[in-house]
Structure formats: C-alpha cells, structure tokens
Amino acid sequence: MLININNDISEISILCDKINKFCEENSISNKKRQDISLIVDELASNVIFYAYPSNERHSFSLDISISNDIVTIKIIDSGIPFNPLAKADPDTDLNAEERQIGGLGIFLVKQLAETVTYRREKDQNHLTIIISLDIHDKN
C-alpha cells in the first residue's frame, strides 16, 4: 500500500487510519499493530518536522507491504540528507535530566523492528523498516 503524505502534522491521523486498515486487512495482532503504528507515527513526524527546512509544502511517500509474515515499511522523502541511524543510541541508564534531548524515537523504532536501514539515493532519503510477525502476531 503506497501512501503519499504532505508535510503537515494533520496528515498523521489519516496516515494512522490507513496503517490500521492495512493491519486489520492482513490480520495483524493488536500488539504488532500498535508497534507498527508507533513506528510510522514517529518516522512520519520526523519527516514532517525536520526534513524540509522551509514552510513550503512538500510530500513524501510511505509504502507498507507484507510477505511471508514480514512487514516492510519504506519511507522516501526528498528532504535534507539525514541518516537517523548515524546518531548513537541514547544512554537509557541515565536519569531523564542527564540525557541529551532527542533520539529516543529512533531508538524505540530500532527496538521494535527487526531491521532499520537508511540510504541516500537520487537526492532522496530512503528509510526501510522490517518487522517480523510470528505465529502469535496474527489474529
């Protein structure tokens, strides 16, 4: 399912509705549906807030598919080059006051996904997230 999104935060609720419909149509468990929704919300929000330095309208795409109990999410944007995987994971052993601001969302995405990869190709950011479903993740 290919979804085009404008860089407007109001698009997140529409996107989440489409993701929930995809999960429902593919009999994905409520637990994995929540994980997938959280991942999509975090990554789409990052693109909306940070990929485009101006207030101009832009769009980006999210493609979600399932094959052999593997959910693949691809987010492609033409925003500024940014590899979210290049930043070190936050030290979660520190108190909240001691931690650096930012980075927890990407850290959470990496914890929920099997694999997260990034590449810059043809002036576009390509982020691919792989989520494995097991027998318990299907309704």
The parts of the chain modelled with pLDDT lower than 50 are: 99
Strand partners, 119: 126
List, for residues 51-68, the tens digit of each pLDDT value.
998 778 899 999 999 999
Task: Give the per-residue pLDDT at 105.
Answer: 73
Q: Specify the number of domains making up the chain.
A: 1
Return the CATH number at 62: 3.30.565.10
- Nearest-10 crossing angle of helices 30-46, 11-25: 150
Query: Can you read off the two tokens belonging to residue 11?
Result: 């698009």
Range of 71's domain? 2-137
This prediction's pTM? 0.85
List, for residues 1-14, the tens digit of each pLDDT value.
999 999 999 999 99
